[in-house]
């Protein structure tokens, strides 16, 4: 297939729909016979309280597969493929997909190639898959289904077409990027970041109900209003869990903030807030009970952010200035030169020798080799 010609989904053979164990085995036999596979996932995060992977897309050079994970209760047959270090798994913006796969299926994933990370390292002006495919292959991606409910069955043909396009060109795109990375001697840097992203933690976490402080405007409330907001936030979370929908689909944050601010204590005061009448009436008992609980609770004050000492801040600022200047020389974003967490770790430990720096940068050998002496000089210039 000539990947350099303009192409639409109507020019492509239909993807293979995989929903039975036999179909899964047949697909896995195909995947095991190649050295590179493209992968993507679709989850229902905008449509369920607790999201799950609803579809996994795979592509090889001549075929696309769509795996219905809702119909297949056991996809352990895929585990050896993901764990095979001899098969490259190509993603675009891999972190979220890896998190979902590890969270839902507890699989180990080796040998990742992330085309978004590669694009950032290569200094592409934009990193979105649609823009890259248009530039490299003349392909226009349909964006209508970015927020679709991927748990919907049967899946419309247009959604199937959208899903397959997320992986169809990735094998060819990797070949282009491999050449570019090698020509610019950046492949080792890319491998460093690919290995790092493969270690993403997939452990599921229960919602943090203290995250009500993240509601815009929560820090401006007085202690009693904040206690009311927390109670309202808990009520919304309980209802979202019961209905298996995201909390924002019960009501928006602005609604909760307005109730916490006005603190209505009876139905008349509740309706007088002028807020969404349907929501007020549907959950009137719950809202009023939550307000009562909040008013009877101890007032709350925002948690204080841990302040960095002056010298630590000075070291961080010095590293920021150095990486900004270095990034500008390579025409990349600053965190390509030095990721934020690594920068802070270096600033906190303030290495005085190459041995100390090497220990901190154990998982960043390319950056240590190329920037270690500069980083030491930056540290020596600070207190």
Rounded to the nearest 5°, which phi and psi values hold at 376?
-60, -40
Domains 9-197 and 209-296 share a fold: no
Q: Is the pLDDT of residue 1 over 70?
A: no
372 φ/ψ angles, rounded to the nearest 5 degrees: -55, -45
Peptide bond between residue 294 and the one before it cis (omega within 30 degrees of 0): no
pLDDT, tens digit (0-9, with 9 covering 90-100), for 126-175 = 999 999 999 999 998 888 888 899 999 999 988 999 999 999 999 999 99
The per-residue pLDDT for range 219-228, each reduced to its tens digit, is: 999 999 999 9
Which of these CATH numbers, 1.10.150.80, 1.20.1280.290, 3.30.572.10, 3.20.20.70, describes 209-296? 1.10.150.80
**b/e 93-115 (16+ beta carbons within 10 angstroms → b):** bbeebbbbbbbbbebebebbbbb
Q: pLDDT class for 259, splitting at 50, 70, 90? A: very high
Conformation bin of residue 41: beta by default, left when phi > 0, alpha when psi is -120 to 50: beta
Q: What's the average model confidence in pLDDT over 33-58?
A: 96
Residues above pLDDT 70, as percent of the chain: 96
What architecture is domain 310-380?
Answer: Orthogonal Bundle (1.10)
Chain-centre distance of CA 44, in angstroms? 14
Structure confidence at residue 378 (pLDDT): 97
Going from N- to C-terminal start, the domains of the chain cover 9-197, 209-296, 310-380
Please give the sequence-ordered ranges of beta strands (E in DSSP) within the chain, or none if there are none: 16-18, 36-43, 53-60, 63-68, 88-91, 112-114
Sheet with 88-91: list strands edge to edge.
16-18, 63-68, 53-60, 36-43, 88-91, 112-114
Model pLDDT, residue 8 = 47
In whole numbers, what is the pLDDT of the chain averaged over residues? 93
Kindly report the backbone phi and psi dihedral angles of residue 229, in degrees, each rounded to the nearest multiple of 5, phi listed first: -60, -45
Q: Of 6-10, 17-21, 102-106, 170-174, which gets the smallest average pLDDT? A: 6-10
Q: Is 300 left (phi over 0), alpha (psi -120 to 50) or beta?
A: beta
pLDDT of residue 341: 95
Whether the Cβ atoms of residue 234 and residue 209 lie closer than 8 Å to each other: yes
pLDDT at 204: 61
The string of pLDDT tens digits covering residues 180-212 is 999 999 999 999 999 999 998 877 666 676 899
H helix runs in 267-339, sequence order: 267-271, 277-282, 284-296, 310-330, 334-337
CATH of 9-197, one of 3.40.50.2000, 3.30.420.10, 3.30.43.10, 3.30.200.20: 3.30.420.10
């Amino acid at each position: 297939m000539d990947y350099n010609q303009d192409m639409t989904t109507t020019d492509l053979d239909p993807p293979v729909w995989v929903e039975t164990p036999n179909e899964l085995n047949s697909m896995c036999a195909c995947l095991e016979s190649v050295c590179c596979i493209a992968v993507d996932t679709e989850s229902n995060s905008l449509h369920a309280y607790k999201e799950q992977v609803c579809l996994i897309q795979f592509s090889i050079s001549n075929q696309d597969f769509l795996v219905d994970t809702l119909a297949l209760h056991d996809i352990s047959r895929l585990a050896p493929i993901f764990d095979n270090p001899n098969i490259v798994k190509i993603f675009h913006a891999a972190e979220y997909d890896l998190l979902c796969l590890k969270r839902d299926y507890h699989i180990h994933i080796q040998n990742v190639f992330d085309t978004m990370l590669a694009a950032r390292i290569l200094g592409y002006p934009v990193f979105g898959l649609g823009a890259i495919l248009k530039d490299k292959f003349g392909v226009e991606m349909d964006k209508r289904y970015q927020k679709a409910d991927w748990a919907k069955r049967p899946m419309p043909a247009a959604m199937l077409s959208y899903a397959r396009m997320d992986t169809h060109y990735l094998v060819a795109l990797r070949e282009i990027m491999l050449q570019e990375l090698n020509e610019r001697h950046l492949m080792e840097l890319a491998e460093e970041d690919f290995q790092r992203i493969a270690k993403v933690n997939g452990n599921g976490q229960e919602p943090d109900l203290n995250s009500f402080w993240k509601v815009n405007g929560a820090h401006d409330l007085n202690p009693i209003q904040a206690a009311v907001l927390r109670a309202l936030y808990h009520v919304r979370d309980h209802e979202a869990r019961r209905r298996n929908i995201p909390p924002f689909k019960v009501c928006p944050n602005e609604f909760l903030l307005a109730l916490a601010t006005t603190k209505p204590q009876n139905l008349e005061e509740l309706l007088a807030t002028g807020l969404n009448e349907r929501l007020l009436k549907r959950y009137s008992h719950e809202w009023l009970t939550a307000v009562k609980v909040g008013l009877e609770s101890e007032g709350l004050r925002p948690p204080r952010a841990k302040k960095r000492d002056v010298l630590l801040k000075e070291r961080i600022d010095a590293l920021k200035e150095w990486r900004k200047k270095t990034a500008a020389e390579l025409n990349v974003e600053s965190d390509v030169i030095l990721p934020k967490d690594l920068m802070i770790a270096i600033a906190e430990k303030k290495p005085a020798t190459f041995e100390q720096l090497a220990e901190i940068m154990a998982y960043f050998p390319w950056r240590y080799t190329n920037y270690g002496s500069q980083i030491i000089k930056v540290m020596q210039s600070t207190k």
